[in-house]
Homo-oligomer: A and B are copies of this chain.
């Protein structure tokens, strides 16, 4: 009984070209224009073209596929691993994709169409269907012989999946290292891992897949459908690539822009403006609320212009404390150190933290005003002591609010189904800026009413 999954495949070509590593060739091509890269690939021998296109780090794969002759493109697709082929096809123009898919062999067509049904960034889209399965009735030696026969057509053979001979459900996982030290005549189950297989579902996010692979130090994690059948595996190298991409997106989104997936030097000017202008305008429009808030207090400002001098200082302190809290909670949520239901425990930590941090800054602020006044650097008027107290009290309020708002926003975004990393940082800054102004002027009103206000 042959328990192979899907698609009979052409043998995988050697993973390097001549004595150059394919990864170096990919790096060389990534630095070219898409047209030049396509021209280069079009002149490569078939096996080499397949190998280059098969690298997830190759930036121009979709563009190259679009510009290859149709028969050549189809042949390359057939040679590629199905998961990568599906991935590349995702980004090909609709009409070209339809034309290419129609010409694929029935097996490849079905496998790729199946993978394309999973949303990007899920285990289903990340997984490969080229793995090794054996029935539980086999021995160690039978399994070894089988692996030697199919080695070149599988993405990994370091994990072997043992299926129930009748139901074909996943029973055990055997690692190659245990397999080669097993007794040849022993049943395959004798070298299996002694615990239940760690698996994931096709709709798990790639972050969840990365977390499982990291937690259990896996070479690959099996993907199981709702009927407990093995439909694919996600390998550690795909996960490392996904993590690097994820990290880039997180940093860019924390910087307040849409994530870009092309290298900085290659993205077009118009694309760059598009990715940055949208968020910048949203933030600008919400920061307009600061102008509205200032207008409300225009009379107070008129009377005590000295208040305006400290607006940037108190505002930025709120923003800084807010972004500290946000970045802490974004990571704690991503690493599952805190869960949604822990929000109130986090609030109870951030409240005293924010108050103490605000007090520290408040004291520094008071010292600053006192020193400047006493040494004659600037004259804050006869009520400068009251002004110093006002600044200090506002800082306590604003930093406390910043820490609380900054720590709670990621929870709210996650609760609403958004990625907390995607927009917390810039939103917190805006929210804290506007609220900070209101706290500042309210505190000033309380302390300075009757003197300078």
Contact = CB atoms under 8 A, between A and B. Distances in A.
A320 B288 contact: no
A178 B152 CA distance: 9
Interface in A97-150: 144, 147-148
Interface in A416-453: 421, 425-426, 429-430, 433, 437
A330 B361 CA distance: 29
Contact of A328 (B252, B280, B309): B252
A421 B248 CA distance: 12
Contacts of A273: 353, 356-357
Contact of A312 (B255, B283, B291, B425): B291
Interface in A369-425: 378, 399, 421, 425
A72 interface: no
Contacts of A364: 281, 284-285
Contacts of A20: 195
Tell me whether chain A's interface is mostly helix, strand or loop, or mixed. helix
A186 interface: no
A69 B295 CA distance: 68
A331 interface: yes
A284 B181 contact: no
Contact of A255 (B257, B283, B327): B327
Chain A contact-residue range equals 35 or more
Interface stretch (A1-9, A76-84, A213-221): A213-221
B181 A378 contact: no
Interface in A284-337: 284-285, 287-288, 290-291, 294-295, 298, 301-302, 305-306, 308-313, 315-317, 319-321, 323-332, 335, 337
Contacts of A279: 320, 324
Nearest to A283: B320
A264 B320 contact: no
Contact of A284 (B144, B148, B349, B361): B361
Contact of A16 (B144, B194, B256, B284): B194
B316 A252 contact: no
A316 B312 CA distance: 9
Given A177-B158, A251-B254, A324 B276 contact: yes
A433 B312 contact: yes
B254 A240 contact: no
B272 A294 contact: no
A356 B272 CA distance: 11
Contact of A251 (B214, B250, B321): B250
A236 interface: yes
B21 A198 contact: yes
A342 B263 CA distance: 13
A328 to B, nearest CB: 6
